[in-house]
Amino acid sequence: MTDDTRDIEEALRQLRPRALSPGFQASVARALAEPEAPSHRSKVIPFLAWSAPIAAAAALALVLLPSGEIAADAAQPELRLVRAEQAPSEVALLEPVKLQDGSFARPMRVRWSNAAHYRDVRRGAELIQYAPHDEIVGLVPMETY
Amino acid sequence: MPDAPTTAPGDWQAWLAENGPRLRLIARHWSRSDADADDILQEAFVRYWKHQRHLPGDPNALIVTSIRRAAMDLGRQTDRRGRREQVVANDIETVALFELPDDGRHAALAAAVTQLPEEQREVVVLHQWGDLTFAQVGEQLGISANTAASRWRYALTNLKKLLASTLHD
């Protein structure tokens, strides 16, 4: 860096980012204490895994409620799955990292997203459940010379 | 940035107390409000702490990546809602990103940072407070290390001009 801007660099170092809000750590503590959501490591049935709860809830509602009650209670949505999409996966090799044994490897990151479109057949309203995923799925070993 | 501790469960608090403010600044840069920045940092930190801190490599780069992903996810969700709800405009220019500096020069510099062009400001934020190398900044932003370094130099020059202008007034 040039001498012209060295003083600016030094001054930047002395700026202190604003402190976290008082309740932030408590909020993080609660989030850390929450039980783990099931991991979707397998790509074989990821769609079923994430869409099943909503589909099951919608089906259960249809089965349990007599049709007369459904008609009487117009406030209850009647969701129908319109379509489900899974965007193509995006695979990227990240920068090399050093492993504990001294060797190097590149983390492999996979990103994809799922979207399920439901329609409330009574009101015509649409519900889109969007589920982005971003995972480090493995390490690709590197040889060094 | 210190390595993430891996022993006592309570260590995350000390780690977050030390690194949280600068990581939140990064989250704030990629979000539309202070509340969003808090949400992004929390999500990224929890994901990092639960799933990624044992991964080899630079923990700082990992958590910055996590913050960026969380910001992108939130941005996508907000964009969907925003078409109907008219999202509150990005108020990065008007918020206080830093602790109130003790002297006028640093106060002017803090204000000048918010006036930088977006592409320069994000390099400054990631390099200065994200502790990322230019290569790592480039990877985050999808640009080359040379471009990141060039933007950094332009940013410093612009900050110097902004500072001179402010102090002269």
The pTM of the full predicted model, rounded to 2 decimals, is 0.58
Check B157 against A132: CB less than 8 A apart.
no
What pLDDT score does B7 carry?
39
The dihedral sign for the CA sequence B125, B129, B130, B134:
positive
Minimum Cα–Cα distance from A14: chain B residue = B106
Q: Where are the domains of chain A?
A: 43-145
ipTM for this model: 0.77
Q: Mean of the pLDDT values across residues B43-66? A: 85
Q: Do A136 and B61 touch (CB under 8 A)?
A: no
Measured CA to CA, the distance from residue A138 to residue A143 in angstroms comes to 16
Written as one string, the DSSP assignment of A70-96 is HHH-TTS--EEEEEEEEPPPEEEE---
**Closest chain A residue to B61, measured at CA:** A95
- How many beta carbons lie within 10 A of that of residue A46, not counting itself? 16
pLDDT band at B84 (very low <50, low <70, confident <90, very high): very low
Sequential DSSP letters for chain B: -PPPP-S-TTHHHHHHHHHHHHHHHHHHHTSSSHHHHHHHHHHHHHHIIIIITTSSS-HHHHHHHHHHHHHHHHHHHHHHHHHHH-PPPP-TTTS--B---SSHHHHHHHHHHHHS-HHHHHHHIIIIIS---HHHHHHHHTS-HHHHHHHHHHHHHHHHHHHHHHHH-
Q: Produce one character per residue of A62-74: b if its CB has 16 or more CB atoms within 10 Å, e if not.
A: eeeeeeeeeeeee
* For range B93-122, the mean pLDDT: 81
pLDDT digits (tens, 9 = 90+) for A9-59: 998 888 888 888 888 888 888 888 877 655 444 444 555 566 667 777 777
Chain A hits for B61, Cβ within 8 Å: 95
Q: Domains of chain B, with CATH numbers?
A: 1-93 (1.10.1740), 96-169 (1.10.10.10)
Specify the pLDDT at position B5: 43
